């Protein structure tokens, strides 16, 4: 490898790593801001939060990596152009295509690694992240007692304190309802004062109550509804211990494996085939069921029954006249029965329509997840061919103009991706076209920018456009004069 190749690679690697972790950090901050209510106040251990952040960061790689490649390539060639290093290299006979060659090879390697990551690592990261996030979201809040508010965090017990002293342990006007027997508010403990302490390991809370009363309705005795037995017991001091379950209850990860987010290419293909066969089978069964229903309804034709029994010519009768000749009670019952049959048929059609639509959407999501594993790696390569020539054209480095240009192009990339994906999910666009829409737009753009950069075309030179408009301004009066 020549020194110029090492120089270009060293110049590119630093911004690539920096921009990748910056993009990852921004996406992670967005995740924390979105789920801050699910994370705060639940007494989670630090390693649980660290594990959740690690898995969340892994799932953000498909979005952070293309942005990092776009921004770093733009910064690298922008810095080379701004410091006239690009001009010096070109003057020594090295073309822009030759300078881009080592980075093209590196981008191809990154694209291959991105594909392997999305096929092997990303499904596992999604499984770990989504299962852990589900458990965290369903974790109960840490036990906190507020004055004058009934607290239900202890499961079968409801607590209330009137006030708390400055030492944080002394409490006043305590009320504890015992619902362990699931018989309503039959047990109540009150106390004038008390102490509330948490055990050193945080596994339990110990209440020491003073000058209180235990109230209990005796519902376990015979004829308690008539006699209403009641027990009242005073005490000078009483201790009550409440166990706390602060540990995170983990759900079996196998319950989440059926989602298309947690599958690789082989699993997606197999699951899609199974879903398509199941959908085809249900449609066939439903068509047969509808046919049987129509045959059943035709056999229940009331006019045909009347014609068979009373030998009345059905051509001279109408359904309306027959209905109004019936007894009013029988008529109302027949109409209600007919309406019920119609509602049942309508609900059956609506349910099956929604079921088929939902199954078709799930199949489309599997296909979209399948294509996504290829579009990620291809996007890394395309965005390099957008960023590198763009940096060589604008000749500005640093975090100023390159960041603005990168954000504009990445926002366009993201919007097109979302439009294609959402349209494909809804069935309004072909799945292949929807998932490759962004690549179809950015590939010609990358080719165009590369051509302009290699031919030293002044694409963003204001003087060139000013000169062109001046010529146009001189040509327009001449054309009008000839027309007159």
Question: What sign results for the dihedral spanned by CA atoms 265, 270, 275, 276?
Answer: positive
Question: With contact defined as beta carbons under 8 Å apart, do 417 and 358 qualify?
Answer: no
Q: Are residues 440 and 391 in the same domain?
A: yes
Q: Are residues 12 and 133 in the same domain?
A: yes
Residue at which a domain ends, from 359, 393, 410: 359
Q: Residue 102 belongs to what domain range?
A: 3-139+370-451
Round to whole Å and give the CA distance between 284 and 80.
Answer: 65
pLDDT (tens place) for every residue of the chain, 484 residues total: 588 889 899 999 999 999 999 999 999 998 988 888 778 766 677 888 899 999 999 999 998 999 999 999 988 988 888 888 888 888 888 888 888 999 999 999 999 999 999 999 999 999 999 999 888 887 765 566 778 888 877 778 888 888 888 887 888 999 989 887 777 778 899 999 998 887 776 667 888 999 999 988 877 666 656 666 778 899 999 988 887 765 667 778 888 888 898 999 999 999 999 999 999 999 999 888 887 777 766 665 554 444 444 444 444 444 455 556 667 777 778 778 878 888 888 898 899 999 999 999 999 999 999 999 999 899 999 999 999 988 888 877 666 777 788 888 988 999 999 999 999 999 889 999 999 999 999 999 999 988 888 887 666 555 555 666 666 666 656 545 555 5
> Is residue 162 assigned to a domain?
yes
> Is residue 479 assigned to a domain?
no
DSSP-assigned beta bridge partners for residue 238: 209
Q: Are residues 324 and 446 in the same domain?
A: no
pLDDT digits (tens, 9 = 90+) for 209-252: 999 999 888 776 666 566 667 788 999 999 888 877 656 677 78
Q: Are residues 13 and 129 in the same domain?
A: yes
State the residue for tokens 């920096």.
Answer: 18
Round to whole Å and give the CA distance between 44 and 397.
Answer: 43
Count how many domains the chain has: 3
Round to whole Å and give the CA distance between 297 and 335.
Answer: 14
Name every residue whose Cβ is closer than 8 Å to that of residue 448 and which is 6 or more positions away in sequence. Answer: none
pLDDT digits (tens, 9 = 90+) for 210-222: 999 998 887 766 6
CA triple 56-58-64, angle to 5 deg:
100
What's 164's DSSP letter?
E
DSSP-assigned beta bridge partners for residue 178: 157, 187
pLDDT score of 300: 56
> Is residue 270 assigned to a domain?
no
Q: Are residues 347 and 387 in the same domain?
A: no
Shortest CA distance to 322 belongs to which of 296, 300, 297, 302? 302
Round to whole Å and give the CA distance between 210 and 234.
Answer: 10
DSSP-assigned beta bridge partners for residue 191: 174, 212
> Is residue 325 assigned to a domain?
yes
Q: Are residues 48 and 175 in the same domain?
A: no
Q: Are residues 135 and 224 in the same domain?
A: no
Q: Are residues 347 and 285 in the same domain?
A: yes
Q: Are residues 103 and 122 in the same domain?
A: yes
Q: Are residues 127 and 192 in the same domain?
A: no
> Is residue 218 assigned to a domain?
yes
Q: Are residues 16 and 81 in the same domain?
A: yes
Helices marked H in 258-301: 265-299
Q: Are residues 311 and 406 in the same domain?
A: no
Beta carbons within 10 angstroms of residue 120's beta carbon: 12
CA triple 371-377-383, angle to 5 deg:
115
Which string of DSSP letters, residue by residue, matches 175-233?
A: EEEE-TTSSSS-EEEEEEEEEEEE-TTSSEEEEEEEEEEEEEE--SSTTHHHH--EEEE
Compute the chain's Rg from CA coordinates: 37
**Cα separations (Å) of 222 from 216, 226, 227, 228?**
16, 9, 9, 10
Residue at which a domain ends, from 319, 339, 359: 359
CA triple 221-224-229, angle to 5 deg:
85
DSSP-assigned beta bridge partners for residue 214: 189, 233
User: What tokens appear for 480 in the block?
Assistant: 């009008």
Round to whole Å and give the CA distance between 194 and 381.
Answer: 69
């Amino acid at each position: 490898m020549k020194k110029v190749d090492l120089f270009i690679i060293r110049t590119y690697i630093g911004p690539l790593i920096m921009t990748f972790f910056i993009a990852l950090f921004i996406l992670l901050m967005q995740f924390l801001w979105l789920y801050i209510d699910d994370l705060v106040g639940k007494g989670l251990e630090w390693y649980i939060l660290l594990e959740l952040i690690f898995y969340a960061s892994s799932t953000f790689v498909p979005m952070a990596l293309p942005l990092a490649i776009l921004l770093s390539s733009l910064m690298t060639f922008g810095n080379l152009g701004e410091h006239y290093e690009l001009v010096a290299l070109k003057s020594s006979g090295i073309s822009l295509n030759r300078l881009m060659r080592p980075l093209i090879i590196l981008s191809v390697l990154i694209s291959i690694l991105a594909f392997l990551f999305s096929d092997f690592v990303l499904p596992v990261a999604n499984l770990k992240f989504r299962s852990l996030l589900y458990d965290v979201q369903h974790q109960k809040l840490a036990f906190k007692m507020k004055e004058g508010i009934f607290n239900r965090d202890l499961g079968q017990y409801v607590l209330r304190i009137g006030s708390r002293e400055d030492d944080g342990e002394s409490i006043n006007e305590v009320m504890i309802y015992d619902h362990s027997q699931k018989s309503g508010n039959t047990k109540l403990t009150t106390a004038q004062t008390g102490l509330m302490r948490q055990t050193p390991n945080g596994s339990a809370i110990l209440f020491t109550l003073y000058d209180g009363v235990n109230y209990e309705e005796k519902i376990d005795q015979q004829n308690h509804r008539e006699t209403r037995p009641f027990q009242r017991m005073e005490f000078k001091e009483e201790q009550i211990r409440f166990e706390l379950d602060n540990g995170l209850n983990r759900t079996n990860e196998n319950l989440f494996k059926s989602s298309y987010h947690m599958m690789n290419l082989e699993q997606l293909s197999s699951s899609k085939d199974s879903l398509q066969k199941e959908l085809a089978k249900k449609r066939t069964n439903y068509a047969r069921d509808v046919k049987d229903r129509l045959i059943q309804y035709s056999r229940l034709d009331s006019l045909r029954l009347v014609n068979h029994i009373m030998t009345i010519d059905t051509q001279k009768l109408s359904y309306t006249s027959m209905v109004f000749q019936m007894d009013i009670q029988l008529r109302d019952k027949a109409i209600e029965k007919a309406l019920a049959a119609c509602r049942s048929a309508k609900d059956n059609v609506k349910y099956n329509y929604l079921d088929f639509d939902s199954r078709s959407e799930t199949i489309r999501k599997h296909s979209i997840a399948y294509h996504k594993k290829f579009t990620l790696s291809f996007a890394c390569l395309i965005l390099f061919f957008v960023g590198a020539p763009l940096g060589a054209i604008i000749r500005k480095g640093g975090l100023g103009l390159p960041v603005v240009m990168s954000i504009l192009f990445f926002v366009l990339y993201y919007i097109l991706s979302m439009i294609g994906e959402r349209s494909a999910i809804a069935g309004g666009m072909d799945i292949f076209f929807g998932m490759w829409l962004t690549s179809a737009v950015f590939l010609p753009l990358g080719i165009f920018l590369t051509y302009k950069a290699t031919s030293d075309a002044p694409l963003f030179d204001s003087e060139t456009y000013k000169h062109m408009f001046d010529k146009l301004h001189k040509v327009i009066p001449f054309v009008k004069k000839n027309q007159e």
